[in-house]
Amino acid sequence: EEQLVESGGGLVQPGGSLKLSCTASGFTFSGSALHWVRQASGKGLEWVGRVRSKAYDYATAYAASVKGRFTISRDDSTDTAYLQMNSLKSEDTAVYYCTRYRSGSDKFDAFDIWGQGTMVTVSS
Amino acid sequence: EIVMTQSPATLSVSPGEGVTLSCRASQRISNNLAWYQQNPGQAPRLLIYGASARATSVPARFSGSGSETEFSLTISSLQSEDSAVYYCQQYSDWPLTFGGGTKVQIK
């Protein structure tokens, strides 16, 4: 079964840092781009960023709202992607999902596999 | 940034009735459009990709249509389990963007 599992969420103070993990199973992780999408309580979905595969030099892209504060990376040896979040703000409070393209590759496509999400709360 | 606008925000429909949800893109996106269903406390589920192709295991009562800037998702005969929020998403250009969602309620 193709699966993504997030971990690492929790409560953090404004200005603090947190690192989320997303572990894949059941598909060829190394060939897939991996994305992060977040959802504040009662709100819609917001794309956060993505990391491409080795074939594309692990290139990253970010939403304007997190650029310069968040960093996405990956470790293909453990089929895990990471979202390092620094300088956190209250507006970063959300459920964070990792997801991949339907094609399982690195080309524009819909998202077919989603993790269950991990909650991040930024509050003093 | 491509802005995705969904309408209406909320729909209330009787079981067995048909319903059509709309999604408009602020720029032409060809058929690079997906629809997702989300139940409370759950991750989104892919329903439609390429504007009109059903994802694996999606019932035939769900259908998508449209291209460039105007898209729609139709549920031909609403079932109780279809009560959810539906999102459209464009994957034509960066940043990837989602619509605000349409909540479908069962009368």
Sorted by sequence, the CB contacts under 8 Å of residue A19 that are 6+ apart come out as: A8, A82, A83, A84, A85
C-alpha span between A93 and A124 (Å, rounded): 12
Mean pLDDT score, B57-63: 97
Q: What is the pLDDT confidence band of residue A104, given thresholds at 50, 70 and 90?
A: confident
Would the CB atoms of B46 and A110 count as touching at under 8 Å? yes
Q: Please tell me the predicted confidence (pLDDT) of residue A97.
A: 98
Q: What is the pLDDT confidence band of residue A107, given thresholds at 50, 70 and 90?
A: confident
Q: Please tell me the predicted confidence (pLDDT) of residue B5.
A: 98
Question: Which burial class, exposed, middle or buried, applies to B65 when counting CB atoms under 10 A from its CB (0-12, 13-18, 19+)?
Answer: middle
CA distance to partner chain A, nearest, from residue B76 (Å): 23
Mean predicted lDDT score pLDDT of chain B: 97
Three-state SS at A117: coil
**A77 in contact with chain B, both atoms CB, cutoff 8 A:** no
Mean pLDDT score, A36-57: 96
Mean predicted lDDT score pLDDT of chain A: 96
What percentage of residues in chain B have a pLDDT greater than 90?
A: 100
C-alpha span between B72 and B47 (Å, rounded): 12
Sorted by sequence, the CB contacts under 8 Å of residue A1 that are 6+ apart come out as: A25, A26
Q: Which residue of A has its CA nearest to B51?
A: A110
Q: Please tell me the predicted confidence (pLDDT) of residue B98.
A: 98
Q: Please tell me the predicted confidence (pLDDT) of residue A51.
A: 96
Q: Which residue of A has its CA nearest to B100?
A: A44
Mean pLDDT score, A109-119: 97
